[in-house]
């Protein structure tokens, strides 16, 4: 397998959104952490993400042969069995890295993050095997990102701050809306816009956390990030309608995927952590650049 094929199968242009998920989970957890810890966790969740994308192509090979013949398996660039094997191996690698994290930094194997990582693997496989057949698919996709938050939080502390669950709720809502919309990406225009309500609901989580008293109002930083996220979501949703007959559904979907990092930036805003916000925005920009070279869907 050459590098280009690996990058396309793994849709690696979206990996920065996974890394910003790790950062957001760390910030929301309220735990003290070192950069080395985040690097190991980023490596683990990169393996989970790429493995999940491999499995997505393997499970969808028959569908792609009709609707997306440009994908590697229908083009005959690699066989389905190999993709299944590599995808499964990457999930195992992710679990091993999560276990290794606690051994490296705490000299013990902690069960909470390990069990969350195993649950993440189950979610990834379940989603890929069933997402075109049941309505639970978008929820499973949302849980994949929620498990990144939760696993990161429990990898860094045994008692994460309750704020991490507010973030999980916002991320779950955003991914449900995004996934429902992505199911229409092969159409010329969106047949239904009701999933946008889930995107809007996701924007409310920092407001809820502030009014509940779980965090303090940090003024300009949180408000600035929230405003940027609102503008980006509105811009992405506007692409759901074709312009001069040209379908822009996939452009809308990949824009919303990149927007995941802006949602992560809210964690930095709520914690009044300027560097965290800047890193999340850098991940957002990196995803946009990467999507110009490697398809994000």
* Ranges of each domain in the chain: 3-291
Choose among 47, 61, 181: nearest CA to 129: 61
Tokens of 85: 């094997």
What pLDDT score was predicted for residue 1? 67
Q: State the pTM of this model.
A: 0.93
- Specify burial of residue 45 (Cβ count, 10 A radius: 0-12, 13-18, 19+): buried
C-alpha torsion sign, points 12, 13, 18, 20 = positive
What pLDDT score was predicted for residue 212? 80
What pLDDT score was predicted for residue 147? 97
What pLDDT score was predicted for residue 241? 74
Answer for the pair 214, 162: CB distance below 8 angstroms, yes or no. Answer: yes
CATH of domain 3-291: 1.10.357.140
Interatomic CA distance for residues 127 and 141, integer angstroms: 7
pLDDT tens per residue across all 297 residues of the chain: 688 888 888 999 999 999 999 999 999 999 999 999 999 999 999 999 999 999 999 998 888 888 788 888 888 889 999 999 999 999 999 999 999 999 999 999 999 999 999 999 999 999 998 866 567 889 999 999 999 999 999 999 999 999 999 999 999 999 999 998 887 765 555 567 788 899 999 988 888 888 887 777 777 888 999 999 999 999 999 887 766 555 577 888 999 999 999 999 999 999 999 999 999 999 999 999 999 888 877
Q: Measuring CA to CA, how many Å separate 13 from each of 16, 94, 214, 279?
A: 7, 19, 34, 16
What pLDDT score was predicted for residue 185? 64
């Amino acid at each position: 397998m050459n590098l280009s094929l690996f990058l396309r199968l793994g849709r690696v242009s979206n990996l920065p959104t996974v890394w910003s998920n790790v950062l957001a989970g760390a910030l929301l957890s309220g735990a003290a952490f070192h950069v080395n810890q985040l690097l190991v966790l980023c490596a683990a969740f990169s393996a989970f993400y790429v493995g999940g994308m491999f499995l997505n192509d393997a499970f969808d090979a028959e569908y792609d042969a009709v609707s997306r013949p440009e994908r590697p398996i229908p083009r005959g660039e690699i066989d389905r069995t190999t993709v299944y094997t590599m995808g499964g191996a990457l999930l195992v690698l992710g679990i091993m890295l999560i276990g290794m994290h606690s051994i490296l930094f705490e000299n013990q194997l902690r069960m909470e993050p390990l069990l969350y990582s195993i649950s993440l693997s189950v979610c990834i496989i379940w989603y890929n095997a069933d997402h075109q057949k049941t309505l639970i698919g978008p929820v499973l996709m949302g849980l994949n990102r929620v498990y990144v938050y939760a696993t990161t939080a429990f990898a860094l502390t045994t008692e994460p701050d309750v704020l991490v669950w507010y973030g999980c709720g916002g991320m779950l809502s955003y991914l449900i809306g995004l996934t429902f919309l992505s199911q229409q990406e092969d159409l010329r225009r969106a047949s239904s816009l009701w999933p946008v309500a889930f995107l809007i609901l996701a924007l409310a989580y920092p407001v809820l956390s502030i009014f509940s008293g779980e965090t303090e109002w940090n003024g300009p930083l949180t408000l600035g990030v929230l405003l940027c996220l609102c503008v980006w979501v509105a811009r992405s949703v506007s692409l759901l309608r074709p312009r001069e007959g040209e379908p822009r559904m996939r452009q809308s979907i990949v824009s919303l995927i990149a927007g995941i990092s802006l949602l992560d930036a809210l964690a930095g805003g709520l914690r009044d952590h300027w560097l965290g916000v800047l890193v999340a925005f850098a991940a957002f920009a990196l995803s946009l650049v990467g999507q110009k070279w490697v398809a994000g869907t």
